[in-house]
């Protein structure tokens, strides 16, 4: 009887630890970023809505300016990467996910030239980059690095199909929960929505920030 009670207590503690996992953190002199990634259907349904499309990773972030700094928040300053698939994604807006159009997700493989043209400076996150961005990233992510050669990159692509123009309950929810874009001097909380295809593990995901607050990266705690 005593053994059974001990096993039950141990199981409860393990369950509590899993549910109360510590968020990942990263900071510099200007800004601290604290974030948790929600990757299971149950987590996403509870934190946002069961109507959120599949393959959306929800990242709950808290941004805290430091040393009296005022920081302008822009969601495009964030990038989520998956080491297991080589995918990288910037946040979607509520309208892109649940606006008057329906989002249709498909995947595509592209053979990209290293060091070629880039739409944004995030391409510099490839292998061999160190410093504030958190060290070398190697593996599938090397397709965005500087140098010669090619790499196969698997990416998720979203297309939209026109709808009836009405605001859905999901759109309203996303607008309420998304990370606001504004200048802040105090901590601010909100959610970011990334399209990452396939089943993901927390250990394979990394969040990057590049903006007025500097350069930061963080891994998610299991």
Model confidence at 156, pLDDT cuts 50, 70, 90, reads low
Q: What is the mean pLDDT of residues 25-39?
A: 97
> What's the alpha-carbon Rg for the chain, to the nearest Å?
19
**Of 112 and 199, the one with more pLDDT:** 199
Model confidence at 167, pLDDT cuts 50, 70, 90, reads confident
Look at 15-19, 84-88, 104-108 and tell me which has the smallest mean pLDDT: 15-19
Domain residue extents for the chain:
22-120+149-219
Does pLDDT of 143 surpass 60?
Answer: no
Q: Sign of dihedral through CA atoms 147, 132, 178, 52?
A: positive
Q: CA-CA distance, 156 to 150, in Å (whole number)?
A: 19
Look at 4-13, 41-50, 62-71 and tell me which has the smallest mean pLDDT: 4-13
Phi and psi dihedrals of 64, rounded to 5? -125, 105
pTM: 0.68
- Report the DSSP pairing between strands 214-219 and 150-162: unpaired
Retrieve residue 15's tokens: 């369950």
Looking at residue 166, its pLDDT comes to 75
Looking at residue 95, its pLDDT comes to 93
Looking at residue 114, its pLDDT comes to 30
Q: What is the mean pLDDT of residues 28-57?
A: 95
Looking at residue 99, its pLDDT comes to 77
**Of 63 and 124, the one with more pLDDT:** 63
Q: What pairs with residue 59 in β-bridges?
A: 37, 192
Model confidence at 212, pLDDT cuts 50, 70, 90, reads very high
Does pLDDT of 135 surpass 60?
Answer: no
For residue range 95-131, what is the model confidence (pLDDT) as tens digits?
A: 999 976 555 454 454 443 333 333 344 444 433 333 3
Domain 22-120+149-219 class in CATH:
mainly beta
């Amino acid at each position: 009887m005593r053994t059974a009670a001990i096993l039950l207590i141990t199981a409860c503690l393990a369950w509590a630890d899993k549910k109360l996992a510590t968020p990942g953190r990263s900071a510099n002199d200007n800004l601290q970023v604290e974030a948790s990634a929600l990757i299971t259907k149950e987590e996403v349904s509870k934190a946002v809505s069961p109507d959120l499309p599949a393959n959306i990773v929800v990242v709950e972030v808290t941004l805290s300016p430091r040393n009296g700094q005022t920081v302008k928040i822009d969601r495009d300053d964030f990038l989520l990467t998956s080491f297991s698939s080589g995918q990288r994604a910037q946040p979607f807006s509520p309208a892109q996910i649940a606006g008057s159009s329906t989002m249709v997700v498909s995947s595509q493989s592209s053979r990209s030239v290293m060091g070629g043209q880039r739409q944004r400076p995030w391409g510099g996150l490839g292998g061999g980059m160190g410093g504030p961005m958190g060290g070398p990233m190697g593996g599938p992510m090397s397709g965005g690095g500087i140098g010669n050669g090619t790499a196969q990159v698997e990416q998720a692509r979203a297309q939209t199909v026109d709808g009836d123009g009405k605001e859905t309950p999901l759109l309203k929810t996303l607008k309420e929960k998304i990370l606001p874009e504004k200048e802040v001097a105090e901590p601010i909380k909100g959610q970011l929505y990334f399209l990452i295809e396939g089943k993901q593990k927390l250990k394979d995901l990394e969040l990057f920030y590049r903006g007025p607050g500097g350069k930061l990266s963080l891994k998610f705690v299991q």
